[in-house]
């Protein structure tokens, strides 16, 4: 019996692509790097040959030829909440679209030890830059004090950049103002806030937006209860307010999940939304249009956030100025908020 060869077929390389295309190695390289000085017809033909041959670019070869790792590090606290998870997924997707790989490292308490260790790990891997998803003040404090040798950007709502640390976020304070202003325009003056944790930047800026919109309208901010973003906490708090006879006529909830728990508590107590109490949420989570009633809320555009934040980081890596204006939220009007009854 003839021996069976154990050798695998050789993977096609860039020289194979150049030979089939009848062009130079440098021309193929320019196509791979999206350089402008290649005709559209030649570019299209080379791209088709790359596809036909099954050529795959080597990360190691790219790093050696460009002195860049084409890798972005992402540091996250692993929060299961909607905002951090949505941000992480969008960053990974957009980075890939821009030709960058991502290396994700998750940290946990105590941040004073896990954050410096994680940043050192990303630095040692050789990433071009690092994006930190930093919802918590305690985590952000450790990022600020760390010594890092590559550009670092922190996604944290309402936080200003420093000479050594770039920041970016959506304008969540504006989103909270929009939600509150919508209730004011419906004639409500007794507007409570079911707040998120003020250990989070998001919780702080959304509360600030509610307070600002109330005072700008000549209204005194009323009831504010702070929770943990969860529907369970909002449900229990809603039942307590019903028992105390302290249910407000309108509520801006710091998250859609918080709004969901509150609406259930009100419904079980015979209080109708929006006929008796208007509720506006924040996030526009998947399925919020199927709440009962469909939830009026503020939509976060995580794709726009990811595109802008990666552009900010790449600008820092490449030493060029970029637009750092925060991405804008959108108020989505549905059926959970109605015009206030006249006294």
Region of 11 on the Ramachandran plot (φ > 0 left; ψ -120 to 50 alpha; else beta): beta
Confidence grade of residue 219 (pLDDT, cut at 50, 70, 90): very high
**What integer pLDDT is reported at residue 292 of this predicted model?**
93
**What integer pLDDT is reported at residue 4 of this predicted model?**
40
The fraction of the chain above a pLDDT of 90, given in percent, is 54
**What integer pLDDT is reported at residue 96 of this predicted model?**
86
Higher pLDDT, 9 or 198: 198
Sheet holding 191-195, edge to edge: 224-226, 191-195, 250-253, 278-280
Q: Compute the distance between CA of residue 251 and CA of residue 248 in angstroms, rounded to an integer.
A: 7
Record the pTM. Answer: 0.77
**What integer pLDDT is reported at residue 148 of this predicted model?**
81
Q: Residue 131 has which token pair? A: 């994006």
CA nearest to 126, candidates 67, 76, 167, 61: 67
- Rounded to a whole number, what is the largest CA-CA distance in the chain? 98
**What integer pLDDT is reported at residue 161 of this predicted model?**
79
Cβ pair 38, 30 in contact under 8 A: yes
DSSP sequence for 11-52:
PP-HHHHHHHHTS-HHHHHHHHTT-S-S-HHHHHHHHHHHHH
CA nearest to 220, candidates 232, 229, 230, 212: 212
């Amino acid at each position: 019996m003839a021996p069976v060869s154990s050798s695998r077929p050789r993977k096609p390389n860039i020289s194979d692509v150049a030979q089939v295309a009848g062009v130079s190695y440098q021309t193929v390289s320019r196509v791979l790097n999206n350089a402008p000085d290649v005709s559209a017809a030649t570019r299209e033909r080379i791209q088709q040959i790359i596809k036909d041959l099954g050529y795959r670019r080597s990360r190691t070869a790219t790093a050696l030829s460009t002195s860049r790792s084409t890798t972005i590090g992402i540091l996250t606290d692993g929060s299961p909440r909607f905002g951090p998870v949505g941000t992480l997924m969008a960053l990974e997707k957009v980075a890939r679209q821009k030709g960058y790989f991502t290396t994700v490292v998750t940290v946990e308490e105590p941040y004073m030890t896990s954050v410096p260790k994680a940043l050192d790990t990303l630095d040692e891997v050789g990433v071009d830059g690092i994006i930190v998803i930093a919802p918590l003040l305690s985590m952000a404090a450790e990022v600020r004090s760390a010594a890092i040798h590559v550009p670092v950007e922190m996604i944290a709502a309402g936080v200003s950049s420093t000479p050594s640390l770039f920041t970016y976020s959506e304008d969540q304070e504006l989103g909270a103002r929009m939600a509150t202003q919508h209730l004011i325009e419906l004639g409500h003056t007794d507007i409570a806030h079911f707040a998120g944790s003020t250990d989070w930047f998001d919780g702080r800026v959304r509360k600030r937006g509610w307070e600002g919109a109330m005072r700008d309208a000549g209204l005194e901010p009323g009831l504010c209860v702070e929770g943990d973003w969860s529907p369970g906490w909002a449900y229990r708090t809603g039942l307590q307010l019903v028992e105390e006879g302290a249910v407000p006529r309108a509520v801006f909830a710091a998250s859609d999940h918080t709004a969901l728990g509150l609406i259930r508590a009100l419904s079980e107590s015979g209080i109708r939304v929006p006929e008796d109490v208007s509720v506006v949420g924040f996030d526009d989570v998947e399925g919020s249009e199927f709440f009962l009633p469909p939830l009026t809320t503020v939509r976060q555009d995580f794709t726009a956030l990811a595109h802008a934040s990666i552009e900010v980081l790449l600008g820092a890596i490449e030493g060029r100025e970029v637009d750092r204006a925060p991405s804008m939220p959108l108020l989505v009007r549905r059926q959970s908020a109605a015009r206030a009854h006249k006294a």
